Amino acid sequence: MMMSKVQPHVHEERRIVGRFAPSPTGPLHLGSLVAAVGSYLMAKRGGGLWLLRMEDLDTPRVVPGMADDILRTLEALGFQWDGEVIRQSQRTDAYQAALGRLMEKGLAYPCGCSRAEIARIASAPHGKEGEPVYPGTCRHGLPPGKPPRAVRVRVTEEPIVFEDCIMGRVREALDRSCGDFVVRRADGPFAYHLAVVVDDAEQGVNQVVRGSDLLFSTPRQIYLQRLFGYKTPAYCHLPLVTGPGGAKLSKRDNAVSLSAGRDLCKDGGALLLAALRFLGQSPPFPAAAPCREILAWGAARFDAALVPQSPALFRMGCL
């Protein structure tokens, strides 16, 4: 159930640490640009830090050289991040240690079920995102003759409730929306939920600003945070950028990249202004304004209360 928006609560004694975490599976697209602008300005508006992390765990989908392309694009648009860029592909030891803690406490278990097997269970209900709810086949031990594939974490009936500073109150009962969920995939990589929770905790991230396509992933991450004893960050989910047909914009659409034939030295300011307007702000600049001047204005004046909840087209004006 969604309620009205609330302003993010900032403790004076606690510096904001935000982050932007793109996946280098394609060039930075307009939806990612909106997430970068929103996360950057909401961190800097509070005088905080903005970290950059490459979520490159899904190595078969990673495009060689794309991480550097994303970094060059961000630099050309005037973004400045704090500290070194973290790459998830170099942090598998940390994820393995975290998974080991869950296994030792009996909070996670090996599962031998394939996606096809779960989907074939006629009685299996489906959650909000259309995925089948795991029926618990291996919860009490692997059935005879079934080898382990993935690792799942045990969920409880207690609902996860949190206040999103853009989308309002979110309530999710994991046992009914997804069931015991995967924290290590059958093909080897650690699941996004485990990796992002470990990374955020170790980097001291206390404000997560990202696209609303990840809104209903957040309860799983909060659940893991509680299992590990980590603090839960403030969450702010931005409206999605859609294509002309109303679907979520993909990396195949309207790429914002140095390799996309766009001169960011010339058009970067117009892109940032369009992103700010998409987020409900009213920057008083012409399209040719310098990127860093626009970002400095946003760092001083960005108002989360003005950010809309609904997805929309990205209006690029004359571009």
Domain boundaries, the chain: 17-92+200-313, 94-192
Cα-based angle 48, 49, 55 (whole degrees, multiple of 5):
140
Give the 3-state secondary structure percentages of the chain, helix then strand then coil, rounded to 5.
35, 15, 45
User: For residue 181, what is the enclosing H or E element?
Assistant: strand 181-184
For 202, the token pair is: 């170790």
Instruction: Tell me the CA distances in angstroms from 133 to 35, 120, 214, one per residue in order.
Output: 29, 12, 18
Asked whether 298 and 281 are in contact (CB, 8 A), the reply is yes
pTM metric for this prediction? 0.90
For 201, the token pair is: 């905790």
Of 310, 307, 302, 306, residue with least CA distance to 50: 302
Residue spans of the chain under pLDDT 50: 1-12, 122, 318-319
For residues 296 and 277, give the distance between their C-alpha atoms in angstroms, rounded to a whole number: 15
Domain 17-92+200-313 classified CATH 3.40.50.620? yes
pLDDT of residue 315: 81
pLDDT of residue 221: 98
pLDDT of residue 128: 61
Phi-psi region of 78 (alpha: psi -120 to 50; beta: other; left: phi over 0): left
pLDDT digits over 89-108, tens only? Answer: 999 999 999 999 999 999 99
**What kind of architecture, by CATH, is found in domain 94-192?**
Alpha-Beta Complex (3.90)
What is the secondary structure of 182-239 as a DSSP string? EEE-TTSPBPHHHHHHHHHHHHT--EEEEEGGGGGGHHHHHHHHHHHTPPPPEEEEEP
pLDDT of residue 4: 33
